[in-house]
Amino acid sequence: MVAHTQLQEKLGMWGLVVLLGLISSSRVRSEPQVPCYFIFGDSLVDNGNNNNIASLARADYQPYGIDFPGGPSGRFTNGLTTVDVISQLLGFEDLIPPYAGANGDQLLTGVNFASAAAGIREETGQQLGGRISFSGQLQNYQSAVQQMVSILGDEDSAANYLSKCIFTVGMGSNDYLNNYFMPAFYSSSRQYTPEQYSDVLINQYSDQLRTLYNYGARKVALIGVGQVGCSPNELAQRSPNGVSCVENINAAIQIFNQKLIALVDQFNALPGAHFTYINGYGIFEDILRNPEANGMKVTNRGCCGVGRNNGQVTCLPFQTPCENRAEYLFWDAFHPTEAANILVGKRSYSAQLSSDAYPMDLRHLAQV
């Protein structure tokens, strides 16, 4: 009897120790700054939605993911993408999963709808095969919202929940790279001047973003198109010396980005809307201007690839990449390395320069 009582006391004390340990660990693991994070975009942020699509735009093979836990995941880089970095900075314990295969519970913390080769325009990227255009991503989001309504009980509860979440949307790169500046496949450059084309894109983008707003998105960051004219692929094809960026491509993109800033102002006139612009172009330009200060030594060629600047194609299956990956700006012909993604992700979350975000960075967007 005495032994039994002592055992109970010991078990009781052990239970208390376990309970205190659980309380302590739960305190250490703070809640994320927002309840959920939804991601829309292209191969810069795709994390596996294209893995089971009949497409050339896939990265579910080595050496992609060489520095990512678990290896190739469908991310078009050696490790983390910018949105992986952002999700960590927002305080999410796990990386945001791809929509393909996500379960209902995961929807409550957010999913990634991005698809490599996707564009604002429906035909963009079609020469690469299957992809989920921005319109298709929005359809998937609408389906996800309907599931969330079922989980949370009613539309008002879902709307209130979604209004607190962060949304990042990075579209437009492929509308230039895999459309306007690919005249062999697309007629858009013969139909429109760069100014006219930017208007066509912005008008369609505006309609699409209105759908996002109508389905509950209130805290939305629009990621500007980066310096496509400085990618190893464009340097290989169009740069006379393989170093100088292709100015006519960058100039066209800057026209689009300027109109994107104006779009932010338009959306912020809507009830409850908090839209912001992340200056991906400017952040990348600053890194290119000061590569050594950012730990970069090679800015004009891919860490893996083929041909001039390693820019002819993406990484070949099982190709051996460069060893000093942290010193490369580009992983392959088009996509940044994890090291570059960390720099961009950090500056998107917490602006280093006043020009990095307008009117606010993601850290402040999470707080409004």
The residues assigned a catalytic role are 43, 332, 335
CA distance 163 to 154: 14
**Spatial contact of 57 and 42, defined as CB atoms under 8 Å apart:** no
**Spatial contact of 60 and 72, defined as CB atoms under 8 Å apart:** yes
DSSP run (H or E) holding 340: helix 338-349
- One-letter amino acid at 255 equals I
Give per-residue burial for 156-195: e unless 16+ CB within 10 Å, then b. Answer: eebbebbeebbbbbbbbbbbbbbbbbbeeebebbeeeebe
Contacts 24+ apart (CB under 8 A), 151-158: 151/104, 151/105, 151/107, 151/108, 158/216
CA distance 63 to 344: 22
Give per-residue burial for 336-359: e unless 16+ CB within 10 Å, then b. Answer: bbbbbbbbbbbbbbebeeeebbbe
**Spatial contact of 345 and 89, defined as CB atoms under 8 Å apart:** yes
Q: Which residues pair with 299 in a beta bridge?
A: none
Degrees to nearest 5, angle at CA 361 with 357 and 367: 155
User: Which of 275, 257, 258 has the alpha carbon at shortest distance from 266?
Assistant: 275
Q: Please state the length of the chain.
A: 368
Give the contacts of 52 (CB within 8 A, at least 6 positions apart): 100
Contacts 24+ apart (CB under 8 A), 133-136: 134/40, 134/169, 134/171, 134/205, 134/208, 135/208
DSSP letter string, 117-138: T--SSTTTTGGGB----HHHHH
